[in-house]
Structure 1
Amino acid sequence: MFSLTFLYEDTKLVVVNKPSGLLSVPGKGEDNQDSVETRIRERYPECTKIPTVHRLDMDTSGLLVLALTKRAKRELSEQFQSREVSKRYIALIEGRIIEEGGTISLPLRMDLNNRPYSVIDPENGKPALTEWRNLGVEGANTRVEFILHTGRTHQLRLHARYGLGFPIVGDRLYGNGSLPGQMKLHAAYLRFVHPKTKEVMKFHSEPDF
């Protein structure tokens, strides 16, 4: 049973720290029903039917905000769609990177013939922009901070693999990972405007790697 940590709660929204290995939303089949969303609905029976505002891949850990009311969900969703939300990630990259940082711009699209993979497609892909900063070499790996400027499926995983030249440690789809819950990618910072109070909300979460 994966432990879900609650960092903030009020009548409009909650912010949680999702562990690696737990789904953001329920999947298909009885074995894939445990998720952040289902736990939120169990904890808050009167919350909106679908509280999920944004998602993290199952193997990604870190910060998620979920809405408890329809209005809060609408307003938070608008912030994500208009890219007003700030998100930063920490990752361990499977290789030694010399560069101090930069930007990666590689268009992405879903691979419809090979789900759940996404692919780089300069002609038909959607724009995907990632800013990155080298936090230091650790043995054979490099710790990197990613700043998302778009939110394409598997964006950081693909931008690491093909933009930096190395996969994220433990990545089962685009790297050498073999077990769930071991990918070293963590949503470490989240900033948004509270839909009711209009206060700027900032949350930090340190990775366990």
Structure 2
Amino acid sequence: MHSLPYSAPPDTGLDVVHADAALLVLNKPGGLLSVPGRGPGKDDCLARRAQAVYPDALIVHRLDMETSGLIVLARGAEMQRRLSAAFQSRQVDKGYVAVVDGRLAEAAGTIDLPLVADWPNRPRQKVDHELGKPSLTRWRRLAYDPAQDATRVALAPETGRSHQLRVHLLALGHPILGDALYAPPAAQAKAPRLLLHADTLAFAHPQNGAPLAFACPAPF
């Protein structure tokens, strides 16, 4: 089992993108857990930091510790129930940006590979055509950097499996730069952190159904 050391980034205050009586949209820094982790020393997380300011804040979905970007928290149990249902029924449009190793030959594509937990190597996930759950990612090439031999891509996951984007891009032969769990050493060494950021979110407001859309540019 892989257990990465956890050192939460300094608490410089919440980066609040949106706040109202029903929900919060925050920009999570890379390196911060979404919820408390297992084991000692893993209590510092976005949920705890949010609750220190907004005591009724409840987690709805998660971003990987290493991933930065937009995350929604509900205010109160009823809003949590409604927002969770929207995520589970795929009524939320999520967009990510990543920088991956190598040059993507196509301009855009779809990765349709079933994923399952790689139990002996937790928390890793793997492609498994027999036991895996259906997982679909759409991607679009944004720019190629010949100096770094790396491609910036826009990603739209249709499903929300654990580590989906990281494993799908690895399976495509283009691991995300700085990925300590999945990238080979050369691709890991090209970036000081995982270059994956949740940059757009769109969904209906859980109280009145009004369309909400948020954008947060990547810090890399």
Tell me which interval the TM-score lies in, with the shorter structure as reference length: over 0.9
Q: Which residue of 2 aligns with 1:125?
A: 132
Runs of 4 or more above 3 Å deviation: 178-181
- What is the TM-score with the length of structure 1 in the denominator? 0.94
Structure 1 gap segments, 5+ residues each: none
Q: Which residue of 1 aligns with 2:49?
A: 39
Structure 2 gap segments, 5+ residues each: 1-9
- What is the TM-score with the length of structure 2 in the denominator? 0.89
Q: In structure 2, what is the Cα distance between the partners aligned to 1:180 and 1:172?
A: 10
Q: Deviations over 1:15-72 (max 9, x none)?
A: 0000100110011234211111001111122x16xx1100000000000010011110
- Identical columns (%): 45
Query: Is 1:161 the counterpart of 2:170 in the alignment?
Result: yes
After superposition, the Cα gap between the structure-2 partners of 1:98 and 1:6, relative to the gap in structure 1 and judged at 3 Å, is same
How many residues end up aligned between the 2 structures? 205
CA displacement at 1:197 relative to structure 2: 2.1
CA displacement at 1:178 relative to structure 2: 6.7
Q: Which residue of 2 aligns with 1:151?
A: 160
Q: In structure 1, what is the Cα distance between the partners aligned to 2:69 and 2:192?
A: 12
CA contact (8 A) 2:138 2:155 kept: yes
SS in 2 for 1:32: coil
Q: Which residue of 2 aligns with 1:20?
A: 30
Q: In structure 2, what is the Cα distance between the partners aligned to 1:98 and 1:2?
A: 41
Root-mean-square deviation (Å)? 1.6
SS in 1 for 2:96: strand
CA contact (8 A) 1:59 1:180 kept: no
Query: Is 1:56 the counterpart of 2:63 in the alignment?
Result: yes
Query: Is 1:194 the counterpart of 2:205 in the alignment?
Result: yes
Q: Which residue of 1 aligns with 2:88?
A: 81
